[in-house]
Structure 1
Amino acid sequence: MFTARLELRRPEAGDADAVLRIHADRLACEHNPSDMITVRAEAVDRCRSWRAHWERHGFGYWVLRRRGSERVIGFCGLKLTRLHEAPVLNLLYRLEPAAWGLGLAGEAVAAVLASAPAAPPVVARVRPANVASARVALRAGLRRAEHLDTLGEDGPDWVFASAGL
């Protein structure tokens, strides 16, 4: 899938090094330190689980590259999960810090949401201090849903949700 500036493609086994590079970056995982990984085997497992989700459900997390470049700059996509016992599509967007502030996360999110399954609803769980992530969720059309806020692995999660939640 392509946007004006990005190529989004399904993860491959060879993406483990990019998964490790981005998820080992303290700044990239500043708001979600439990997502950090420092060992290649963990990156291989994470990449394998992303690929398995695609195989089971026909959608998942995409690998992001700038058009015309081979360098992976991040990941964006949807994963089927549960929130307060209800099925939801969790929206993930994580880019390397060098790609921040350019509107690339919003561009990737828009493409992902345009191709999203009609149900279940989409949610983005955002750390309260992560203003940039909240801005991306709001620009994507998600709305703040305080009644769904929860305690995540790294502290409070503010929930932004699509219509119907």
Structure 2
Amino acid sequence: MIVTTERLQLREMNMEDTDNLMKIFSDPEAMTYYPSTKTKEEAEKWIAWTLNNYASFGVGLWIVEDKHTGEFLGQCGIVPQKVEEKVEMEIGYLFARSVWGNGYATEAALACKQYGLEVLAYPKMVSLIDLHNQPSIKVAERIGMKRESILYKWDKDNYVYACYQ
């Protein structure tokens, strides 16, 4: 386990998580702010990319599960992102639509923020959020992040939210 909260546990993902991740990646509504849905092969590449982040940076997206039942809820974690020619540590989150509205994204993102700032001692963390993604904007604001700028990345404008030690 990487991080636990009152309701959640975050653990490293592995190839056995492909089918659960496909619950998100194959859902057009859940993937609204991504370029497109993903195939199973693309999900496996996503996991391989995440495993590489673990090996290279010691962090990445983690699987979020219900602490008591083990139910798959989504993914949340810390991802290195290039922001204006500098690598920043981003808090990212993406949850299955079936569990939206329960506060899981906020709870998991807050745990990642605390882990990054307090345990890993990152001086700054960011979240890059599509200008129209109101649910993600609310999560960032609920965990105390502040909007700093707009960054063109992934062929679109994104808000840069940040928090500091």
The counterpart of 2:136, out of the listed 133, 136, 145, is 133
Q: Which has the higher strand share?
A: 2
Q: Give distance in 1, aligned partners of 2:163 and 2:57.
A: 20
Gapped runs of 5+ residues in structure 2? none
What amino acid is the match of 1:152?
K
Cα deviation digits, residues 60-98 of structure 1 (max 9, x gap): 111011123343211001111210001201221110111
| 8 Å contact kept, 2:123–2:164 | no
Show the counterpart of 1:75.
75
> What is the Cα-based RMSD across aligned positions, in Å?
1.7
Asked if residue 43 in structure 1 is aligned to residue 43 in structure 2, the reply is yes
Shift of 1:21: 2.2
Show the counterpart of 1:66.
66
Shift of 1:19: 1.9
State the number of aligned residues.
160
Asked if residue 144 in structure 1 is aligned to residue 122 in structure 2, the reply is no
Show the counterpart of 1:12.
14
Give SS of 1:145's match.
Answer: strand
Shift of 1:150: 1.5
Asked if residue 27 in structure 1 is aligned to residue 29 in structure 2, the reply is yes
Asked if residue 107 in structure 1 is aligned to residue 117 in structure 2, the reply is no
Question: Is the alpha carbon distance of 1:35 and 1:85 closer, same or farther for their aligned partners in structure 2, counting shifts above 3 Å?
Answer: farther
Shift of 1:163: 3.0
Show the counterpart of 2:94.
94
Q: Give distance in 2, aligned partners of 1:142 and 1:91.
A: 10
Give SS of 2:6's match.
Answer: coil
Gapped runs of 5+ residues in structure 1? none
What amino acid is the match of 1:18?
N
Show the counterpart of 1:84.
84
Question: Is the alpha carbon distance of 1:100 and 1:57 closer, same or farther for their aligned partners in structure 2, counting shifts above 3 Å?
Answer: same
Shift of 1:120: 5.4
Question: Is the alpha carbon distance of 1:160 and 1:9 closer, same or farther for their aligned partners in structure 2, counting shifts above 3 Å?
Answer: same
Show the counterpart of 1:124.
127
Cα deviation digits, residues 97-152 of structure 1 (max 9, x gap): 11111111010011111111323521111112211111110111111102xx1123
Give SS of 2:51's match.
Answer: helix
